Amino acid sequence: MKKFLAVLISAGMIFSAAACSKTEEQEKSTETAEKTEQAETAEKEETSESTVSTAVEVSDEGLTPIYADEIRDGSYEIEVESSSSMFKVVKCIVNVENGEMTADMTMSGQGYGMLYMGTGEEALNDSEDTYIPFVLNEEGQKTFTVPIEALNAETDCAAWSIKKEKWYDRTLIFKGDSIPEDSLITE
């Protein structure tokens, strides 16, 4: 009889512990689901409230701007630093000609339909003919050709999200450290 009672009590304790464990797991699962739902709701509200999203800060601190009239005419492959991991430039060719500079930026993804050199707010207030469309390269990647004032300087760039149908503010730094020394004009 004592053995039977011991087994019965042990079984009750096991079931009780399992129930508590399951309840804790359910609470954690519920908390996670609630947090995810809150984040999604906040994102939806942010998207519906505005057609512009602001950029995270990048810094040109310690960099000296390099202007087109300081570089010999030619094409140079450089890197681009972006304030957003969602705006990834996988290749950038800077073209310098007659004191003007443009950058051919090849993007990692397909999410952006056009760019505007300025902020999203400025894009909303400007005419659509100032928007920069993409061109597909031979590999099917989107490429944007944009005017740039200087290398090593923060440049405002708004990107139009096809999916969200809104402008996202980005700050870009076209890095001049890969320009060959003999291509710089030092007078």
Residue 45 has pLDDT above 60, yes or no: no
pLDDT score of 179: 96
Q: 20 or 105: which carries more pLDDT confidence?
A: 105
pLDDT score of 9: 54
pLDDT score of 124: 98
Find out whether 161 and 168 touch, Cβ atoms under 8 Å. yes
Q: pLDDT digit string (tens) for 105-129?
A: 999 999 999 999 999 999 999 999 9
Q: Quickly count helices (H) and strands (E) in the chain.
A: 2, 13
Query: In which residue are the tokens 């809150």 written?
Result: 38
Residue 44 has pLDDT above 60, yes or no: no
Share of the chain above pLDDT 90, in %: 66
pLDDT score of 65: 97
Most confident among 23-27, 50-54, 75-79 (mean pLDDT): 75-79
- How many angstroms separate the CA atoms of 53 and 123, rounded? 12
Q: CATH: 2.60.40.1850, 3.40.190.10, 1.10.10.10, 2.130.10.10. Which one for 53-183?
A: 2.60.40.1850
Q: 27 or 95: which carries more pLDDT confidence?
A: 95
Q: Tell me the mean pLDDT in the region 169-178.
A: 97
Q: Tell me the mean pLDDT in the region 162-166.
A: 97
Domain ranges of the chain: 1-49, 53-183
Find out whether 42 and 34 touch, Cβ atoms under 8 Å. no
Find out whether 171 and 156 touch, Cβ atoms under 8 Å. yes
pLDDT score of 7: 43
pLDDT score of 59: 64
